[in-house]
Every structure is written in C-alpha cells, then in structure tokens.
Amino acid sequence: MPEDVSLTTVAARAGVSISTVSRIVNGETRRASAATIARVRDAIEAVGYRPNPVGRALRRRQSQVVGMLVANLDNPAMATIASSTEAALRSAGYVMMLCDTHDRADLQDDYLSALRAQLVRGFVMVASVPSKGLADLSAEGAPMVFVTRRAPAGRGPFVGIDDRAAGAAVADRFIDEGRRAPAVAFPQQGSSATRDRVLGFLARLAERGRPAASVIQGEGSGLSHLQVGYEAAEKIFSAGDKPDAILCVSDQIAYGVRRRALERGLDVPGDCSLVSIDGSPLNKWVAPWLVSVEIPYIAYGQEVLASLNAIWTGSASMDRLLPYRF
C-alpha cells in the first residue's frame, strides 16, 4: 500500500483539477455537477485517497490534534480520563497527543509550547499546575478545558464533579450513621479539588452541629497520595480523640491511611470506617473495606469533547459537573 496518493493522483484519475477534488473532499457539493462529484468519488475510492493531515494543517494553520496534559499518568483515575477522552476525540475525528507533566510547571510549559507549535486545536488540562506558559496561553484565549482541577487563574471551562457537594455528602453520611468522631485526611498542598472536598465536608458538619474545631484533621505531604494518606493517618490516630470514621479525599489517600491503621492494629472498618472520594473499580477487588463516592471518570471524555466543541463553536463556556454516586 504505497501511501503516496494525494489530491493530484485523484485529480489526474478523475480528469479534473485538484481544486475540484479538494472541494468535493471537503463537502462543497455546490461547486461541482453531480456527474463530476460521482467521478471524483469513484477515483477517491479507487486509489484509496485519504487527506494528508500535515498538508491540511499547514494550509489551515490548524491541525486535528488536541493536546492533553496530565499531571500523572500513573494515577489510575487520570489514566481513565485520558483513555476516555482519547476515545471521544477519536470518534469525532480528532487525534489526541498526550503529555505527562509529572505535576511540574517547567515541563508543563515545555509541552504547552511544543503543542502550540504543532498547531493543536485545543488543550485539555487534567490536573494542571499554575505556570507562566499556561497563564499566557489562557490569556491569549487558546481553546482550553480544565479537568479535575479548576484553572489556576480562575476562569476557564471545567469538567469534574461538584467537589464541595461530594464532601458534604460524606458529612451527611457520617452524621446519619451517628459517628462520634469524624476525621478527614487530605494533602497539605491540595488542588482545588481536594480543597473543595474538605471544605464541603467541614461546612456540612458545621451546619449539622459539628464545628470544624471538633473535627480531627490530618494533612500529609509527599509526592504520592499514598504517602499523603500514610502521613495524615499518623496525625489522625495520634490525636487525642480516636476517630471512628475518616474521609479520605482520594482513593490513594485511603490506601495510605489503611496501611497505617493496620500497622497500629486497628481494624477497618471495625474500629474505624474509611470513606474515600474517587471510587476506582479496583477498590472492589483490593480494598473491599473501603466505601467510596464514585466519580464517573469513564464519562469525562465525552464531556471534555462537548466542552471543546462549545468553545470551538463560540458558545458560552460553562462548567460541566458530572453526577457522583455513593
């Protein structure tokens, strides 16, 4: 299958000019007679012509590529988002270019500029980090949608869940279950997502008669949420009050908390129940002790696509909040 078939090949075979073929390929049916169109279509079929995306991008000054920057592909949730977004984009005729920023601002900027040079059509920022390049690009009005974490600069369409509400839902559950000593484990330098979950949780508890001061709060630092959970748990378990229910703002934090709990000889959920926000399908298999608010990461892809489409067509860019499920 020699792939050196271009508009010229088709034009020669159909006995028309390349302009005509180009127009027909692009659906400009009003610029050619029905007979010509049929002849060209046949020729296209016969030689197996496929438009060359590179030539097209050069001329149009815009490619079919959408760039996706993800903070950490090793995080299963982000991998799922990447996978579903790739599928959605592909089915709409776009291709996705994926970059792993490792949560580093400098890498993020490198990737942004490389992608821009590729004339990408849009950017999908999954858990972006604040950076100069991002701010610039955003200010220029580049098509950009933020997933999981909101835009550092504030404005920018967002795909995710209502993090505050999710936190509040866990609070409600704890109260309804009659928990005496609720706690929360979260990362020291959290993103908008983890922060909002904690805030929603504490706010709802306060509304229902449990002021924030009475809630055991454990924060952890470290690169991975596993480590964060492990550290946060230490603080929580060595607090004066013994917690009987802990909100972990992500699955991985819950894994870390649980490990520390085991090391301390605590039974989960016997002595202390763990609730997390994420809901990886893996939990059912490796963490049956964990109750989780399930986030439909698998559905993120189509929302991202819808959001990009809205931007491209000039509609108002609005946030897309997906339903979570307890």
List of residues contacting a copy of itself (CB under 8 A) = 1, 3, 50-55, 57-58, 63, 65, 72-74, 76, 79-80, 82-83, 86-87, 90, 95-100, 102, 110-111, 113-114, 116-119, 136, 140, 226, 252, 255-256, 258-259, 262, 282, 285-288
Interface with DNA in residues 290-319 (CB under 7 A): none
Instruction: Specify the 3-state DSSP secondary structure of 296.
Output: coil
Residue 157: both structure tokens together: 């369409």
Partner interacting with residue 170 (select from DNA, a copy of itself, none; CB below 5-8 Å by kind): none
Q: Nearer to DNA by C-beta: 8 or 221?
A: 8
- Per rule CB under 7 A, is residue 56 in the interface with DNA? yes
Q: What is the DSSP letter of 28?
A: -
Q: Is 49 in the site for DNA (CB under 7 A)?
A: yes
| φ, ψ at 264 (rounded to 5°) | -90, 5
Residue from 42, 45, 55, 139 that binds DNA (CB under 7 A)? Answer: 55
Give the one residue of 2, 27, 59, 209 binding DNA; rule: CB under 7 A. 59
Cα separation, 22 vs 10, in Å, equals: 10
Hey, is 236 helix, strand or coil?
Answer: helix
Beta-ladder partners of 241:
none
Place of tokens 């000019």: 17
Provide the CB-side half-sphere exposure for 13 (13 A, CA): 20
**Which of DNA, a copy of itself, none interacts with 19 (beta carbon under 5 to 8 A by kind)?**
DNA
Dig out the tokens for 250 from the structure.
């992500």
- Within 153-212, the residues that bind DNA by CB under 7 A are none
Separation in Å, CA 105 to CA 59, 74, 115, 128, 140 = 32, 18, 15, 9, 19
What is the four-CA torsion angle of 281, 178, 254, 287, rounded to 10 degrees? -40
Q: Which is nearer to a copy of itself, 98 or 212 (CB)?
A: 98
Interaction partner, residue 30 (DNA, a copy of itself, none; CB < 5-8 Å by kind): DNA
Cα(206)–Cα(235) distance, integer angstroms: 22
Per rule CB under 7 A, count of chain residues that contact DNA: 32
Q: If binding is defined by CB under 7 A, does position 7 make contact with DNA?
A: yes
Helix or strand run (H / E) with residue 274? strand 273-278
Question: Both tokens of residue 254?
Answer: 């819950």
Which of the choices a copy of itself, DNA, none does residue 23 contact, using the CB cut-off of 5 to 8 A by kind? Answer: DNA
Task: Return the bridge partners of 203, or none.
Answer: none
Shortest gap between Cβ of 137 and a copy of itself (angstroms)? 9
- Decide which of a copy of itself, DNA, none touches 286; Cβ closer than 5 to 8 Å per partner kind: a copy of itself
Kindly list the residues in this chain that would bind DNA in the complex (CB under 7 A).
4, 6-8, 15-20, 22-23, 25-26, 30-36, 49-52, 54-56, 58-61
